[in-house]
Copies of this chain bind each other. A is one copy, B any other.
Amino acid sequence: MTTKTRSQAAPEGYDPSKFPAFAVTVDVVILTMSESRLHVLLVRRGVPPFQGMWAIPGGFKRPTETLDEAAKRELAEETGVDSASLLAQFGAYGDPGRDPRMNVVTVAYLAVLREVAGIVAGTDAAAATLVPVSAALNGAIELAFDHARIVRDAVERVRIDLELTGIATAFVGPTFTMAELRAVYEAVWGVHLDGANFRRRVGGEDGWVIPTGRRARPGSTGGKPAELFRAGRLWKQGGPIRYPQTTDKGKGKR
């Protein structure tokens, strides 16, 4: 933190020694892939304010824990998952009046999970659900507090990080096919990527993915069984796939 620095100067109508008290909470935007679409986990509020409305899970930060630990704890309490594939802070929200009861500043985290099965089951089924982010973003589902904006910021963050981090691998399981990984990019960015070009970039020659000898069983529709990969070491330094430039003459980037 830091107090006012010019301590000698007269505090202009404000006394630092009597600082205002805030409640600090941690909210977690839990994203996962389901049916080839990006989904967010929402819980139904059981108490006022906004009782009965959907919201993202969260809770008070405790004085003895770090923000990261608080986020991890909240994630575990809501989903039963003790360690997400990815859990990263992405913003703080403190507008006055965002909580009608008191002054609340919340720190928002983004969690990415694989294995949809069991997530909702881990909580009270009636109080937690997985909805497509499109429904949460276009207002089809009304969210409590300023959670609509928080979810929007989280998704925007994912879209950016997809290009420059290994966040894509957090959406898939420990082993995955090229098509599964490509589906993550296509769902988050809303674009179509050529399968052959995608394969060449990712499995080209470097350590993006490591082939396991095994193969996935083909879906009921037939087709050649896909090779199974594990994530390589290079993802820590940025992803291999770039957001496709519309290739139209204007070189406007994105």
Residues of B within 8 A of A124 (CB): 6, 9
A residues sitting closer than 8 Å to B (CB atoms) are: 1-9, 14, 16, 19-25, 27, 43-47, 55-67, 77-78, 89, 91-96, 98-99, 103-107, 123-124, 127-128, 144-145, 147, 160, 164, 204, 206, 234, 237-240, 250-254
A92 to chain B, nearest CB (A): 4
A178 to chain B, nearest CB (A): 18
Select which of B91, B103, B234 is within 8 A of A89 by beta carbon: B91
Q: Is the CB of A104 within 8 A of B1?
A: yes
Distance of A127 Cα from B3 Cα, bound (Å): 14
Q: With A22-B22, A252-B234, A253-B237 given, is the CB distance from A2 to B63 under 8 Å?
A: no
Residues of B within 8 A of A62 (CB): 14, 20
Residues of B within 8 A of A250 (CB): 206
